[in-house]
Amino acid sequence: MSETPVRVRFAPSPTGKLHVGGARTAIYNWAFARANHGTFILRIDDTDPERSTEENTQIILRAMRWLGLDWDEGPEVGGDFGPYFQTERAEMYRAAAQRLWDEGKAYPCFCTPEQLAADRAEAQARKDPFQGYQRRCRDLSREEAQARIDAGEPYVLRIKVPADRGDVVVRDAVHGEVTFAARELDDFVIQRTDGTPTYNFATVVDDAAMGITHVIRGDDHLSNTPRQVIVYEALGAPVPTFAHISMILGADGKKLSKRHGATNVEEYRDAGYLSDAFVNYLALLGWSLDGETTIVPRDVLASQFSLDHVSKNPATFDPKKLEWIQAEYLRTMDDAEFVEKIMRPALAAAGVDAGEHASAWWGALAAIVKPRTKFPADVVTVTAPVFATAETLVYDEKSVAKGLAKAGMGAVLDAAREALAGLEAWEPAAIDTALEPLPEALDLKKRLVFQAVRVAVCGNLVSPPLGETMALVGREDCMARIDRARALAL
C-alpha cells in the first residue's frame, strides 16, 4: 500500500434516483476509505443541464444518509478541495484546457460534423486500422487557429495524444493488467464548442485536483480509462489506481433493471429494509470477507474491506438472499433496540394504540415477534391479536371454520376457561401447564384442542406461541375472548 493517504470519491450524476449499482459503488468507496483510514469524498457530477436537478441531488443525498455512508468532504460538509458540484467548477476546466493548449498538449479543431463523417468513411474505405479523428487540425499554427477563432469560427479543443505514446496499460486492482492499443487512441475532444468540458476531461481535472488516489467505479467505465490516463499525463498529474467493479445482473443473467423489481435505494428503504442489512447485502455482490461469512456488520466492512477480495465476475441480485439477511439482522437485534427502532415506529405508523406497558412486557412481546418479522410492517400483523380487545378482535373465517366450527369445540372452550380461571400467576408457563391436560381429559387430539383456544384468543391459527401471547393479552381479556368465541363453537 502506498504511503500516500487514501482519497476516494463517489461522483453520481443527479439525473435520477440512486440505483442499486451506484449504491454498491458508493459502499465500496466508503468501505475502502474507512478500512485504510482515508478520506471519502462525495462529488456531484451535475454537468448534464437538461437532466441534472436539485431535486435529484437531494434524492441522492437522502439515499446516502439512509445508507449510512457518511462522507468526509462534499455537499453539506465542505472541505479543502471544493466546490463539490461540477457546475461550480467550470472555471477550473477552462483554465486546465487553456493550459494544455498553451503547452502544446491540446489544440483547436474546426472540423464540421460533415468533414468528420467524410474522413471516417475514407478511413474505412482504405481499411485504415486507425479510424478515429484523422488529426486534420493537429498541425495548424497557433496564429492561424487564433485567427479563425477571432473570426467567430466554431471549434472544439482536442487533446494531442503523443505520436509515440504507445499502448496504454492499465493495472486495474480488480481486472489485473488491461492493455488498450495505441491505434485506438485518437485526439479526443476535451472541450465542446460551447466551452463545456467533456466527461473524460472534467472527471480527470477534478480527480487530479482533489488528490484522488483510487478510482473505484463500475466496469462500464473501463473503456473510458485509456483516454483519462492520457489526460492525467497531459496535466502532469499522478495516475490513480483504478478498480472497475463488475455489473449487477438479474436472475435471468441480464443487467439489473426495472423488469427485475425495485432498482433504486429509496424503494428498498420504503419497503422496510434496514440500511445495515441492505448495505451488508450489496457489499456481498462482488466482494467477500472470507468466502463464507454472509453477515458482515458495518464495522467489520469498514475495517476489513479490501480490493483484492473483489471479484471481476458479474454478481447476481437475489431478492431472497436479501430478505434472509434482513431477517437475520432483525432476529439478532437486542430486544430493547427492536422495540424502539422497529416495533414502536411500525405500530405508530399503522395507527395502532399500543397503550402503556412496562419495559418487561415490551421485551416479552419483542421476543415472540422478532422471529416472525422480515419487515417492520410484519410487526403490525403479528401483534394484531395482542393489541386487539375481546370486542375488536377480528376472526379469520377460515380459521373459525377449521378451529371452532366443529363438534366438541364448545366443550373445549368451556374446559379451557375452567382450567385457566384457577391460575394464580398469569404467566406463559402456567398457562401452558393448565392447558396441557385438556386433550387427554376430553379425549381429543392435541392439535384440535389448541387450535380452538388459539382461534378464540388470537382470531386465527398462525399467531405466535399461545402461552406467551395470552400472557401479554392479559387474564381478563383472554377470558372475555373465550366467552365471545364460545358462541361460534359447536
> Which residues belong to the active site?
258
Q: Could you say which DSSP state residue 285 is in?
A: S
Instruction: Give CA–CA dist 254/249, Å, rounded.
Output: 5
Q: Write 167-173 long-range contacts (CB < 8 A, 24+).
A: 168/225, 168/226, 168/229, 168/230, 170/222, 170/225, 170/226, 170/229, 170/242, 171/241, 171/242, 172/222, 172/225, 172/242, 172/243, 172/244, 173/214, 173/241, 173/242, 173/243, 173/307, 173/308, 173/310
Q: Shortest CA distance to 110 belongs to which of 79, 87, 144, 76? A: 144
- Amino acid identity of 60? I
Instruction: Give CA–CA dist 197/205, Å, rounded.
Output: 10
What are the beta bridge partners of residue 216? 243
Instruction: Give CA–CA dist 375/378, Å, rounded.
Output: 5
Residues written for the chain: 490
Q: Could you say which DSSP state residue 159 is in?
A: E
Sign for the pseudo-dihedral over CA of 190, 196, 198, 203: positive
